[in-house]
Amino acid sequence: MMWKTLICVTLCFIIHNYFIRAEDLIVNTLNGPVRGRMEYSMRKTGVPFYAFQQIPYGKAPVGDLRFKEPQPADSWTDVLDATKNTKLCYQVSNGFSIPNVESLETEDCLFLNIYTPQKPVHEKNLAVIVWIYGGGFICGTSNFEQAGPHYFMENGVMFITVSYRVGPFGFLATDDLSSPGNYGLKDQNLALQWIRKNIEYFGGDPNRVTIMGTSAGAASVTYQFMSPKSKGLFWAGIAGSGSLLVPWAYQKDSKDIAYKLAKTINPSFDTSSSTAELIAYLRSVPAGVLNNASSKAVWETIGNEEIIQGSFYAPVIEPEHDNAFITERMYKAVEEGKMTQVPLMIGIESEEALARTMDDNWSAFLPGYDSDVKLLVNHNMRINDSKTLEEVGQKIREIVTDGLLQNNYAAAIRYFSDMSFNRPCIRLGELQSKFSDVYFFQFSYDGKLGGKKKYIEGSEKVQHSEDNNYFWTYGNWSGLDTYPPEDVLTSERWRLLLTNFAKYR
């Protein structure tokens, strides 16, 4: 009898799920009609939800639009199929282990995905969370298969994931108007404009939009706070494991990197060419060739680790021009209260740099830091005198450990955690709290759901972006109930905290 009941329940679920997926849902946006579909969060407490995927917010940034600010998407008249993801922005590194990544990569990737737990109606009643992915500004995905919204749907919010350009397509810059840079940040801004104008047609409240991100996504969130062009497009922000003050979220040598990229693609390229000639050449290169060369043009060395000295493809300070997104130093803007003054939730994991123990380069680099302490000093401090650099580096090591870093992994991990994540996030919170409400968190729960990692004696146990595992699903597998009850409870409490922040004032 029990088996018959189980078979009946299973068949009922399959039949129910079939009809849910088969139902067409059409919403009329200002650009044109889109057809979505129904999905289901397959937990005991799961809920049905509605998915509208790969809706374009910008034109394909190809040809002359490569290395330029994004343009709004054209309108369409036929119903757009928004039931699946088939595209992905070019990835310098497949950091998210996306299957068949090369078959998905394209420059035509300016789209967003909208998920809502209620059938779309022309009522502005749901709070909206907009997710900006991380990935070191060189990779990242908003696709359903890697960024499943299932658990958030249980909390009664609308969830949107945004696809934006990364790597050289999103952040190549020449320090002048030939290629001012920050295209990935400008993509995010254009997406927020689209959401502001269209989200009410899906039942979202345009006046309750919270932008949220982790790592480079968190830095992006705080850059949106900084830019005057994004004022009025959101009412709160959530930034985890990153901020615009972290050393890896700014690149001061972008022009040199651009020339190195051209030289890598074509060894005979004349590096005395003007920046206009440089960009004209790089626009002529096939996208796949450009992308593959971007990881070969620059690489990490003992004195050039991105986590300390700046991601190779990252935001820059632009020259003044009409479409500029960032034109002044970040610390100055924060200190002078020029950031958007809305509530900000910002935080860190208990041991951000613990993830570095999975990187073979890390342990190999440590002896180099011991033999030349100047390398411990961030380039952005702009200390050019060798003696002063030596003194500052020595003081840093004395604070971190009384011996060698290579003999004290816990101290080395703490240094990288503090330098690259903790201090910049805490400092942003302190400065911004003078002008608006700031809520700081530290995620310290070490559960099975957190994923694979190494433990180091003397270090904390929760690594970079680990809290994401408590609110994302991967591969359309919402198997939260298979984890220990404590993990499930942590997920539910964490999501409740995040979504209540997005809903209420």
Give residues with Cβ within 8 angstroms of 154, minimum separation 6: 41, 43, 45, 46, 47, 117, 495
Q: What angle do CA 28, 30, 34 make, to 5 degrees?
A: 35
Residue 382: inside a domain: no
Could you tell me which residues are beta bridge partners of residue 237? 211, 344
Q: Which two tokens stand for residue 411?
A: 């101290």
Angle between helices 183-198 and 216-226 (to 10 degrees): 70
pLDDT for 4 equals 43
* Main-chain phi, psi angles of 33, to 5 degrees: -75, 145
349 touches 462 (CB < 8 A): yes
297 touches 260 (CB < 8 A): yes
Q: How far apart are CA 124 and CA 208, in angstroms?
A: 9
Residue 202: inside a domain: yes
Angle between helices 287-297 and 254-265 (to 10 degrees): 120
Residue 468 is given by DSSP the state: G
Angle between helices 254-265 and 275-284 (to 10 degrees): 50
Give the range of the structural domain holding residue 484, as residue numbers without chain letter: 43-74+82-352+440-446+464-503
CATH of the domain at 146: 3.40.50.1820
Q: How far apart are CA 369 and CA 355, in angstroms?
A: 19
Q: How many domains does the chain have?
A: 1
Q: Which two tokens stand for residue 166?
A: 């990364």
Q: How far apart are CA 477 and CA 43, in angstroms?
A: 10
Tell me the residue type at 410.
A
Residue with the two structure tokens 């919204």: 149
Q: Can you tell me whether residue 439 is helix, strand or coil?
A: strand
Q: Can you tell me whether residue 27 is helix, strand or coil?
A: strand
Q: Which two tokens stand for residue 157?
A: 């919010």
pLDDT for 297 equals 82
Q: How far apart are CA 106 and CA 325, in angstroms?
A: 24
Residue 168: inside a domain: yes
Which of 424, 109, 91 is closest to 239 using CA atoms?
424
Residue with the two structure tokens 């030939």: 178
Residue 326: inside a domain: yes
Q: How far apart are CA 425 and CA 421, in angstroms?
A: 6
Residue 13: inside a domain: no
Cα distance from N-terminal residue to C-terminal residue, the chain: 52
Residue 216: inside a domain: yes
Q: Average pLDDT by consecutive 10-residue portion of the chain (505 residues)?
A: 41 43 77 95 82 98 98 98 96 82 93 95 87 96 91 95 98 98 99 98 97 98 99 99 97 95 97 98 98 84 73 96 97 98 99 85 84 86 88 92 90 93 98 99 96 89 96 77 94 98 95
Residue 416: inside a domain: no
Tell me the residue type at 284.
S
Q: How far apart are CA 365 and CA 360, in angstroms?
A: 9
Length of the chain: 505
452 touches 378 (CB < 8 A): no
pLDDT for 301 equals 66
Residue 378: inside a domain: no
Give residues with Cβ within 8 angstroms of 158, minimum separation 6: 114, 115, 116, 117, 126, 127, 128, 129, 199, 202, 203, 204
